[in-house]
Amino acid sequence: MREGRSLNSKLLERLPKRVTVVEVGPRDGLQNEKFEVPAAVKLKFISALATSGLRIIEATSFVDPRWVPQLSDAEQVLAGLDLSGEVRYPVLVPNEKGYERAIAHGAKEVSIFASATESFSQKNLNRSRDEAIEMFRPVAERASNDSVRVRAYLSMVLGDPWEGDVPITAVADAAIKLMDLGCEELSLGDTIGVGTPGKVQDLIAGIVRAGIDVSRLAVHFHDTYGQGLANVLAALETGVSVVDSSAAGLGGCPFAKSATGNLATEDLIWMLDGLGIETGVDVNKVADAGAQICRAMGKDIPGRAARALTS
């Protein structure tokens, strides 16, 4: 029985019984760090995360090393993972060339990314929003032929540092175009962390009205204004049951300077455990993994639950 059910809370009745946590720490969490993390240390980090019960761990990105040098060892990291086991290790690919590199090294799942706004698309991908989405068409087609799962990220869904508030219609339009490529799941990213619960629910409702089933949606929140957990709870109320997070709260976006750390996996699991929502993840083991990578980089632990659990 789920903890809290005896309270007969209408809130708890609206929440999913189980949430899938997508751990993005090894990729999104490390991509903007100044410290050069050796591949061996990354693999130890990933192994510790897998031991915690996490079953989807985004391992790396096959982006051009000139743009994200921290992930220049993508081939070495992927080669060090057991890609045939029960843990899934998706990798980010920026284009068809990145896809070819990933598949050549055994990747079984890939993620693609686009922006809901024109400004960020130009700064991040040097092309218009629709051009960027279209760039992924051959990736999606080849993935379908190769029986490779494709996940899509859509950034700047709740605010853009250059454009301000982003219309829900613009987000929904980009979301539909991405999913029409053949993606199985869409992760909605509040890249600069300006979202609040009401805006989160309005956004998800707008996307569902546009024709994307809520079962195909995930959320990816940054905790810039301390709204990450509140926004997750708001998303869960709408029927979303997949949440991205990063161990220790590591991360940020190298192309959006106002984007601070991701929502910490430990904070997320602590809240979900308290609500009686199943994840299959041991929060203490995640905290140990996060503390381990932070020590390796010589930095303090950003996540609040992570600090409390390892102090």
Distance CA 305, CA 112 (A): 30
Q: What is the CATH number of the domain that holds 196?
A: 3.20.20.70
Q: Which helix (H) or strand (E) holds 185?
A: strand 185-190
Read off the pLDDT of residues 270-285 as tens digits, 9 standing for 90 and up.
999 999 999 999 999 9
Collapsing DSSP to helix, strand or coil, 38 comes out as coil
Q: What is the pLDDT of residue 1?
A: 40
Q: How many domains does the chain have?
A: 1
Joined tokens for residue 32:
């903007």
Tell me which residues are annotated as active site.
253
- Give this prediction's pTM: 0.94
**Exposed e or buried b per residue across 129-160, where buried means at least 16 C-beta atoms within 10 angstroms of its C-beta:** beebbebbeebbebbeeeebbbbbbbbbbbbb
Half-sphere exposure of 302 (CA within 13 A, CB side): 23
Domain that holds residue 236: 5-310
Percent of the chain past pLDDT 90, that is, above it, reads 83
Q: Band of the pLDDT at 246, cuts 50, 70, 90? A: very high
- Given the DSSP bridges, would you call strands 242-245 and 217-221 parallel, antiparallel or unpaired? parallel
In 36-160, the DSSP E strands lie at 56-57, 60-61, 91-92, 109-115, 149-155
Say which residue, 151 or 34, is predicted with more confidence.
151
Q: Judge whether 33 and 65 are in contact, CB under 8 Å.
A: no
Mean pLDDT of the region 218-244: 96
Q: What is the pLDDT of residue 253?
A: 52
Collapsing DSSP to helix, strand or coil, 111 comes out as strand
Q: What is the pLDDT of residue 258?
A: 44
